[in-house]
Amino acid sequence: MIGPGELAHALRQAAPFVLLRRQVPLVLGLVITDRCNLACRHCRVANVARRDMPFALVEQKLDAFHARGVRELAIEGGEPFLWRNGERRLEDVVTLARRIGYRHVHVYTNGMFPIVSSADTVWVSVDGLRESFARIRGDHFERVIAHIRAARARKLAIVFVVNTVNRQDVRPFLRFARDLPVMGVIFYLHTPYYGRDELFLDAPARAAVIDELLACRRDGLPVLNSASGLELLRSGGWPKPNRTWWIADEGGDYPCCRAANPEVCADCGYAACTELIAAQRLRPDAIRTLLRLA
């Protein structure tokens, strides 16, 4: 159990997340490009003919959200390593964010390029073992894993989105991930942004996945989700859309995600939000998770 002194220390460090109980902007997801070198089965927002966000607009967005109090940045795509603006590359965006004053900078990637970044954490999407991965993302599993093993980054973690294709891979993948140079694996549930589809897990299936993840945590497997965050994900009992997390792309700014509507929100499986909300509700395990991932 976390002790009173440890909890007080954690609260001081996590104050931007935890002590602001109101729904004020805390995290910015900046979509710097919609271009992607994959055509994943679950995605329809990549390669939609938008240009890469110009560097001047990147700076404008970062300045604007920093002025609103945001200090946590997630650089997203498309595939961020594809982003170009003249001679500028992804690392220039990371450097700019630090200069403006963002405390933590995260990069989300599909792992198809060598992972070289000064970001605080690089998140690599790996949705299952080789066979499931191929059915969802194409036959690139070995390449992505090789890039994870050879990465030059401060911290690495994996994002695994559970759906009907990879549901059976949860525990075997966690065993596999123990031998990778990653902090662990955070699990999301497939969110039907475009309507319920063949990848969608119904409520009983979602509950079974969460039960399995809780059991994996108890068995010492590298699940990054906190127990509190998982239980909140099961219940769906958090504000949706969540206005502590914002997405910005060239077309505008959006609370929570670019597809937010009552139908999507009802089936949301975005576990990063549940971790943030659980920490704001002073759940010690969620606070520990946020401190570890920062």
Q: Where are the domains of the chain?
A: 23-293
Strands 252-255 and 245-249, by their bridges, are antiparallel
Q: How far apart are CA 201 and CA 145, in angstroms?
A: 26
Q: How far apart are CA 247 and CA 273, in angstroms?
A: 13
Residue-level pLDDT at 12: 44
Residue-level pLDDT at 239: 84
pLDDT(222) > 80: yes
Q: How far apart are CA 218 and CA 166, in angstroms?
A: 21
Residue-level pLDDT at 6: 34
Average pLDDT over residues 109-125: 98
Residue-level pLDDT at 173: 98
Looking at residue 140, its amino acid is: H
Q: How far apart are CA 270 and CA 107, in angstroms?
A: 17
The first and second tokens of residue 258, run together, are: 């670019």
Q: Which helix (H) or strand (E) holds 108?
A: strand 104-109
Q: For residue 275, give the DSSP letter.
A: H
pLDDT(209) > 50: yes
The first and second tokens of residue 136, run together, are: 């969802």
| pLDDT tens-digit readout, 40-53 | 988 876 656 677 99
pLDDT(130) > 70: yes
pLDDT(2) > 70: no
Instruction: Name the more confident of 67 and 280.
Output: 67
CATH number for the domain formed by residue range(s) 23-293: 3.20.20.70
Burial 207-225 (b: 16+ CB within 10 A, else e): eebbebbbebbeeebbbbb
Say how many C-beta atoms besides its own lie within 10 A of residue 182's C-beta. 21
Instruction: Name the more confident of 294 and 29.
Output: 29
Residue-level pLDDT at 243: 84
| pLDDT tens-digit readout, 6-29 | 333 334 444 554 444 556 788 999
Average of per-residue pLDDT values in the chain: 89
Residue-level pLDDT at 8: 36
Average pLDDT over residues 91-119: 97
For the chain, report the end-to-end CA distance as a whole number of angstroms.
21
